[in-house]
């Protein structure tokens, strides 16, 4: 089966005064229909840029984006429009992702009006009512403005807008990290219900590992623009191999007060991906770093679908 | 809890905000106790009144719109509510320090970090001259793991985690007896959060500071606190030792919070969210504030003023059905 | 807006139970702003006086016994009296009538000049904000040059080139205010420009036009509206300045600035000729500033202490 999304060696560089910021640098991955790919990493690791480049909010610097096998990496005009209807995004911040001067109804109906798939006003209203029902917004909120709703409802409006055109692929950019725990669970369940109903394919970008474990089939760990490890979800949590993945997993605050995690506290902080040296970008923070780490690294398969980018993987 | 050892005690605190002719009931009769050298975790969701409590203790709520209606905040035997503004100036940052959630806005962008810390130190020890204060500021920076030579840099030259370290250095520079930490790690990444939390804990133990840690993250509470209080819609719904709350949660809200969390060591298909939304603090429900969302709600939950019940020694719960629901 | 109301009615019968629950239509930002504005006493006084002046200037002359340009040689240079309330000028024309009549020109010129500048500034500002990047860099340098020329000088230049007349004067008066409007917009766009709803609009294939006018504009316009209100007074003064040096509205049509200009040589002998038009201009500018102040507080309550 052709994966819904496949990216090959995708790169997105930004020019900054200090040089080039390699926000996404040579990332390859594929996502099968109806599956969820979790992408985790710290802020500034390029996970959001990766997602936005895939849905073509940014023009990729190099590499390929295949949507159902069709190369859309440099699509223009009608082809780009068609591709965008198929690839949508749910944003992190339900405050800034909704136009404060538009009512819920205007926000949700806008993609329907633009797409020309719906001929009459009545058809649009019908579709909108269906969407409201699907995402669980009470009709009473039709004419409300974003500032009159709470975070959970706003996020539901954002979801309704994203699924309005029946996309196949939805990139979820930290959709629950701005929400309270009790509401977060509601939204996560909603996302999973929608996935089942519509066979949606998700890319789920987050820094919250317990959330990503819950929702993902497959997880990729990013560090400074590169994938350091990618593996099926269960395998990654059971058998993390890259030193960064290990540190990341051990840093999660656990609510189990009787079995505190063996902490690996990382020294230092995420540096930046501006003009990096070749070689492993994690090496300056890595306790196992040796000279061999300054050579360029590549992903190597260590198990079924489990890839790691670390030259010392067999030694540690 | 040993009453003689209580360092901070908040009694029946009521705070209201007025906005657009509406009254927002932010804090409705909160009582807290914190022992010397211990950490109390105050857990709750957005808008539950956590930050308002901390700001009330420091008396830094803007009035208007906020108004402390009644209550006491006793720190080391003295009621902060009775202090004059001049006395409070001496207490803030000296006896009580606060760490804010957002390190980006807590620092003055046009002063070097060293100067900012030195300023705090000089304010509270007026015998020091500029040079001595700066030297002390450098010590404070070293204490939080920042090299002293970076003291001459400006906040924008620091990353988020580093800024939060600077903020902590400022808060701890005067050896406060009470530290109010308002979501100190929420804006940071997990690996940095782990660094900062372990650092705060270590410094706190070294200085024997009492800490009120405000957070929405139960994981953070589990890692750092001795006691826990759960707040919902401006009321403490459950309080007790960390073990009480995490091993035997009694209030339906606390139970619901735990159930809603995705867990790392469990396989579940769907999470169990708490239904509904937190109530609008200007139109709080009668009786138990949680009853519209509670699956065990009964008629009596709607009309009574629910008292705190002691379910086991030191473990309190504000639920009128807690004894019936005992599993 | 119209469209929305229409839907509202159409589906009213279907869910009127729900409609009742949310009472009337939820208040829009504009409604909230207008309500706040109406609560400000000074702004309402300012608005009231402006409307009053405007109405009086429109219908007033019909009820006066003197024509606007009617010269009564016997009544030249008379001080205020029961016969001529504000006195007469050197040609024996009644100053009261001329003030009323001139109010039309001054007010309309002030308001339309500001609005025309607003329109140009908004279009250029939005396009610049949408494209951004290197274009913005070049465009800003052009603006630097543009705003380096004093507004009055620019108005004089354009007025000279285009020649006199109402429309030309309006264009001349509005050009000077454009750079400021663009700059104000640019600042706002830079601060909301990275908000995600604009990205969201891109992902649903919204056209650049739609993104600029439906998504950007309503979120960046408020400080510009306030600024434009405040600038009406300035434009009236500038129109007066143009007339004063003989450009702009041409005699014998009365315009407040032109009346001042005519009176300048007789100020010491016949001070009323200068006093009344001067007071009229000052009153209107004051009222408009009061209104603008109230509008600013209403739009951005945070600025108000």
Subunits next to B (3 or more Cβ pairs <8 Å) are A
pLDDT value at position B202? 85
Is the pLDDT reported for residue A303 higher than 90? Answer: no
Q: Say if A49 is an interface residue toward chain C (CB within 8 Å).
A: no
The mean per-residue pLDDT over the stretch B92-96 comes to 84
pLDDT in tens, B27-58: 998 999 998 889 999 998 888 888 899 989 98
Looking at chain C, which subunits does it touch, using at least 3 CB pairs closer than 8 Å as the criterion?
Answer: A
Domain membership flag for residue C32: no
CA C263/CA C278 separation, integer angstroms: 10
Give chain B's mean pLDDT. 85
pLDDT in tens, A231-241: 999 899 888 99
SS3 state of residue A295: coil
- On chain B, the residues whose CB falls within 8 A of the CB of A186 are 273, 275
For A76, counting Cβ atoms within 10 Å of its Cβ (0-12 exposed, 13-18 middle, 19+ buried), the class is: exposed
Provide the phi-psi class of B210: left if phi over 0, else alpha when psi is between -120 and 50, else beta: beta
* DSSP calls for A166-177: --SEEEEESTTT
Q: Name residues 105-144 of chain A within 8 A of C (Cβ).
A: 105-106, 110-111, 114-115, 121, 125, 138-140, 143-144
- pLDDT for the residue numbered C28: 62
Give the mean model confidence (pLDDT) for residues A65-93.
Answer: 91
For residues A242 and A196, the answer to whether their CB atoms sit within 8 Å is no
Residue B326's pLDDT band, with cuts at 50, 70 and 90, is low
Residue A37, C-beta contacts closer than 8 angstroms, at least 6 positions apart: A29, A31, A202, A203, A204, A216, A217, A218, A219, A220
- Residue found by looking up tokens 């605050």 in the block: A253
Looking at the predicted structure, is the pLDDT value of residue A161 above 90? yes
A296 Cβ contact list (under 8 Å, min separation 6): A278, A279
Of A153, A182, A254, the CB nearest to B260: A182
pLDDT in tens, A268-282: 766 777 778 788 888
Lowest mean pLDDT among A163-177, B252-266, C244-258: C244-258
CB C179 within 8 A of CB C147: yes
Task: Indicate whether C26 pLDDT > 60.
Answer: no
Highest mean pLDDT out of A160-164, B193-197, C9-13: A160-164
A9-39 pLDDT per residue, tens = 999 998 888 788 888 988 999 999 999 999 9
Strand, coil or helix: B176: coil
Q: According to the model, what pLDDT value does residue A220 have?
A: 94
In a domain, C66, yes or no: yes
Q: Compare CB distances from B219 to A152, A255, A269 and report the shortest one's residue.
A: A255
CA dihedral angle for residue C276, residue C280, residue C281, residue C286, rounded to 10 degrees: 130
Sheet with strand B39-43: strands edge to edge: B96-99, B178-182, B210-215, B39-43, B227-232, B235-241, B315-317, B309-312
Of A184, A253, A257, the CB nearest to B246: A257
Assigned domain for C219 exists: yes
> Would you state the pLDDT for residue C4?
40
| Closest Cβ opposite residue A143 in set C22, C201, C203 | C22
Q: Read off the pLDDT band of C12 (50, 70, 90).
A: very low
Q: Is C132 helix (H, G, I), strand (E, B) or coil?
A: coil
Nearest CA in chain B to A185: B273
Which residues on adjacent β-strands are paired with residue B23? B18
Q: With CA atoms as reference, report the closest residue to B279 among B50, B67, B12, B47.
A: B47
C4, C7, C203: residue with CB nearest A57: C203
Q: Which long-range contacts (CB under 8 A, 24 or more apart) does C151-156 make?
A: C151/C176, C151/C177, C151/C238, C152/C176, C152/C238, C152/C241, C155/C238, C155/C241, C155/C242, C156/C242, C156/C245, C156/C247
Q: Residues 165 to 184 of A: which have CB under 8 A from any B CB?
A: 180-184
pLDDT at C43 over 50: yes
Which tokens in the block code for residue A278? Answer: 């070749």
Provide the 10 A C-beta neighbour count for residue C233. 21
Size of interface A-B (CB pairs under 8 A): 118
Q: Would residue C9 count as lying in a domain?
A: no
pLDDT band for position C119 (cuts 50, 70, 90): very high
Q: Please report the pLDDT score of residue A33 as a whole number.
A: 93
One DSSP character per residue, B255-308 reads HHHHHHS--TT---SS--PPSS-PPPTTSPPSSSTTGGG-TT--HHHHHS-PPP
**Which pLDDT score is estimated for B213?**
93
Nearest CA in chain B to A268: B192
Is the pLDDT assigned to residue B324 strictly greater than 90? no
pLDDT above 60 for C24: no
**Tokens standing for C65?**
């016994």
From CA B157, how far away is CA B159, in angstroms rounded? 7
* B39-43 and B227-232 beta bridge pairing: parallel
Are C277 and C260 in contact by the 8 Å Cβ rule? The answer is yes
**DSSP at B10:** E
Average pLDDT over every residue of A79-90: 92
Q: What is the pLDDT of residues C151-173, one digit of tens each?
A: 888 888 888 888 877 888 888 88
Compare all CA atoms of chain C with the CA of A166 and give the residue at the minimum distance: C204
Establish if C25 belongs to a structural domain: no
**B240 Ramachandran zone, left/alpha/beta (phi>0; psi -120 to 50):** left
Domain housing C219: 41-304
What rounded mean pLDDT belongs to chain A?
A: 87
**What mean pLDDT do residues A264-293 have?**
79
Q: Do B191 and A266 touch (CB under 8 A)?
A: yes
* pTM (predicted TM-score): 0.82
Contact A135, A156 (CB under 8 A): yes
A145 CA: distance to closest CA in chain C (Å): 7
Confirm if B146 and B174 have CB atoms less than 8 A apart. Answer: no
Burial track C235-270 (b if 16+ CB lie within 10 A, e otherwise): bbbbbbbbbbeebbbeeebbbbbbbbbbbeeeeeeb
Spatial separation of the C-alpha atoms in residues B69 and B67, rounded to whole Å: 6
CA angle C42, C48, C50 (to 5 degrees): 105
Quick check: is C36 in a domain?
no
Residue C11 scores a pLDDT above 70: no
CB–CB of B172/B143 below 8 Å?
yes
Please report the residues numbered 176 through 205 in chain C whose beta carbons come closer than 8 angstroms to any beta carbon of chain A: 195-197, 199-205
What distances in angstroms separate CA A12 from CA A56, A60, A296, B170, B249, one per listed residue? 11, 5, 19, 39, 48
| Cα B124-B125-B130 angle, rounded to 5 deg | 110
Judged by a CB distance cut-off of 8 A, whether residue C137 touches chain A is: no
Q: Which residue of A has its CA nearest to C218?
A: A101
A235 at C interface, C-beta within 8 A: no
Q: What is the pLDDT of residue C193?
A: 67
- Number of structural domains (chain C) is 1
Q: C199: which chain A residues are within 8 Å (Cβ-Cβ)?
A: 52, 57, 89, 91, 97
Q: What is the pLDDT of residue C167?
A: 85
**B195 to chain A, closest Cα gap in Å:** 6
| Residue for token pair 């705060």 | B200
Say what the pLDDT of residue B41 is: 93
pLDDT band with cut points at 50, 70 and 90 for residue C1:
very low
Q: How far is CA C248 from the centre of its chain?
A: 17
C51 phi, psi to nearest 5 deg: -60, -40
Q: Which residue blocks in chain A are alpha helix, DSSP H?
A: 47-54, 77-86, 104-115, 121-135, 151-163, 181-198, 209-215, 233-238, 243-250
In a domain, residue C7? The reply is no
What is the 8-class DSSP label of residue C211? Answer: I
CATH number of residue C185's parent domain: 1.10.3720.10
The structure tokens listed for C252 are: 């014998």
> Which tokens hold the place of C141?
């340098």
Residues B241 and B312: their CA atoms lie apart, in Å, by: 11
pLDDT of residue A230: 93
> In a 10 Å sphere around its CB, with 0-12 CB exposed, 13-18 middle and 19+ buried, how is residue B118 labelled?
buried
| A214 interface with B at CB cutoff 8 Å | yes
Rounded to a whole number, what is the distance in Å from the CA of B92 to chain A's nearest CA?
31
Range with the poorest average pLDDT among B284-288, B291-295, C20-24: C20-24
pLDDT at C300: 64
pLDDT at site A40: 92
pLDDT given at position C25: 46
Task: Place C301 in a pLDDT band, splitting at 50, 70 and 90.
Answer: low
Tell me the three state secondary structure of residue B185.
coil
Domains and CATH numbers, chain A: 5-308 (3.40.50.300)
SS3 call for B6? strand
C35 falls within a domain: no
Report residue B72 as tokens: 């006491």
The DSSP call for residue B248 is S
């Amino acid at each position: 089966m052709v994966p819904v999304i496949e990216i090959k060696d995708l790169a997105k560089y930004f020019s900054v005064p200090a040089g080039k910021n390699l926000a996404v640098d040579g990332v390859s991955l594929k996502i099968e229909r109806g599956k969820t790919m979790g992408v985790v990493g710290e802020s500034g690791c390029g996970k959001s840029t990766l997602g936005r480049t895939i849905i073509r909010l940014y023009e990729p610097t190099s590499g390929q984006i295949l949507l159902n096998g069709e190369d859309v990496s440099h699509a223009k005009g009608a082809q780009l429009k068609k591709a965008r209807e198929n690839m949508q995004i749910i944003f992190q911040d339900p405050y800034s992702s909704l136009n404060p001067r538009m009512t819920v109804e205007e926000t949700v109906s806008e993609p329907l009006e633009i797409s020309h798939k719906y001929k009459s006003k009545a058809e649009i209203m019908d579709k909108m009512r269906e969407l409201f029902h699907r995402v669980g917004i009470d009709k009473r909120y039709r004419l409300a403005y974003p500032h009159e709703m709470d975070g959970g409802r706003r996020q539901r409006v954002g979801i309704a807008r994203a699924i309005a055109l029946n996309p196949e692929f939805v990139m979820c950019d930290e959709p629950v990290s701005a929400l309270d725990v009790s509401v977060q669970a509601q939204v996560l369940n909603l996302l999973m219900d929608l996935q089942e109903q519509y066979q949606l394919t998700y890319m789920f970008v987050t820094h919250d590992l317990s959330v990503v474990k819950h929702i993902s089939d497959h997880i990729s760990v990013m560090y400074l623009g590169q994938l350091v490890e990618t593996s099926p979800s269960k395998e990654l949590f059971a058998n993390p191999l890259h030193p960064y993945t290990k540190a990341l997993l051990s840093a999660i605050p656990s609510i189990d007060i009787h079995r505190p995690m063996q902490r690996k506290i990382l020294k230092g902080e995420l540096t930046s991906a501006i003009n990096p040296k070749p070689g492993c970008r994690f090496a300056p923070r890595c306790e196992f770093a040796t000279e061999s780490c300054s050579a360029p690294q590549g992903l190597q398969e260590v198990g079924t679908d489990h890839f790691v980018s670390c030259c010392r993987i067999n030694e540690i | 809890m040993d009453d003689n050892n209580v360092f901070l005690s908040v009694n029946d605190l009521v705070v209201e905000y007025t906005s657009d002719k509406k009254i927002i009931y932010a804090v409705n009769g909160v009582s807290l106790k914190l022992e010397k050298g211990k950490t109390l975790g105050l857990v709750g969701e957005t808008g539950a009144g956590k930050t308002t409590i901390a700001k009330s203790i420091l008396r830094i709520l803007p009035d208007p719109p906020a108004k402390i209606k009644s209550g006491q905040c006793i720190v080391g035997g003295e009621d902060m509510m009775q202090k004059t503004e001049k006395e409070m100036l001496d207490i803030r940052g000296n006896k009580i320090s606060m760490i804010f959630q957002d390190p980006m806005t807590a620092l003055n962008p046009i002063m070097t970090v060293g100067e900012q810390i030195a300023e705090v130190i000089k304010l509270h020890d007026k015998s020091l001259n500029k040079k001595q204060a700066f030297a002390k500021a450098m010590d404070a920076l070293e204490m939080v793991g920042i090299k002293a030579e970076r003291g001459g840099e400006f906040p924008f030259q620091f990353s988020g985690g580093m800024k939060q370290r600077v903020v902590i250095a400022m808060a701890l520079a005067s050896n406060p007896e009470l530290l109010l930490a308002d979501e100190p790690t929420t804006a940071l990444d997990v690996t940095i959060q782990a660094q900062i939390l372990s650092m705060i804990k270590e410094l706190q133990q070294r200085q024997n500071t009492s800490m009120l840690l405000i957070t929405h993250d139960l994981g953070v509470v589990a890692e750092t606190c001795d006691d826990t209080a759960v707040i919902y819609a401006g009321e403490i719904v459950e309080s007790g030792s960390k073990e009480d709350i995490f091993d035997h949660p009694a209030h339906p809200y606390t139970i619901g919070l735990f159930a809603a969390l995705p867990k790392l060591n469990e396989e579940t298909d769907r999470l169990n969210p708490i239904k509904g939304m937190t109530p609008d603090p200007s139109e709080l429900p009668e009786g138990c504030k949680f009853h519209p969302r509670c699956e065990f709600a009964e008629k009596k939950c709607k009309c009574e003023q629910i008292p705190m019940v002691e379910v086991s020694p030191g473990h309190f719960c504000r639920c009128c059905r807690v004894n019936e629901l005992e599993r | 807006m119209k469209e929305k109301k229409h839907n509202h009615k159409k589906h009213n019968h279907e869910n009127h139970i729900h409609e009742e629950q949310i009472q009337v239509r939820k208040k829009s930002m504009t409604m909230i702003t207008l309500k706040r504005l109406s609560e400000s006493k000074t702004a309402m006084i300012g608005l009231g006086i402006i409307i009053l002046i405007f109405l009086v200037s429109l219908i007033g002359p019909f009820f006066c016994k003197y024509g606007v340009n009617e010269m009564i040689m016997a009544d030249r240079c008379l001080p205020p009296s029961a016969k001529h309330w504000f006195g007469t000028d050197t040609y024996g024309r009644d100053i009261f009538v001329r003030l009323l009549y001139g109010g039309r020109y001054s007010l309309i010129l002030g308001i339309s000049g500001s609005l025309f500048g607003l329109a140009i500034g908004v279009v250029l500002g939005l396009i610049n904000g949408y494209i951004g990047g290197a274009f913005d860099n070049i465009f800003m340098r052009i603006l630097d040059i543009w705003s380096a020329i004093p507004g009055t000088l620019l108005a004089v230049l354009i007025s000279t080139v285009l020649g006199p007349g109402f429309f030309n004067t309006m264009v001349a008066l509005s050009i000077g205010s454009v750079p400021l409007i663009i700059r104000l917009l640019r600042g706002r766009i830079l601060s909301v420009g990275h908000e995600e709803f604009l990205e969201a609009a891109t992902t649903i294939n919204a056209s650049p036009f739609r993104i600029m006018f439906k998504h950007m504009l309503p979120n960046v316009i408020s400080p510009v509206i306030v600024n434009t209100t405040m600038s009406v007074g300035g434009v009236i003064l500038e129109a007066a300045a143009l007339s004063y040096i003989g450009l702009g509205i041409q005699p014998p049509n009365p315009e407040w600035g032109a009346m001042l200009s005519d009176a300048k040589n007789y100020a010491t002998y016949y001070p009323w000729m200068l006093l009344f038009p001067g007071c009229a201009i000052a009153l209107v500018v004051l009222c408009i500033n009061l209104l603008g102040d109230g509008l600013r507080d209403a739009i951005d309550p945070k600025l108000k202490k």
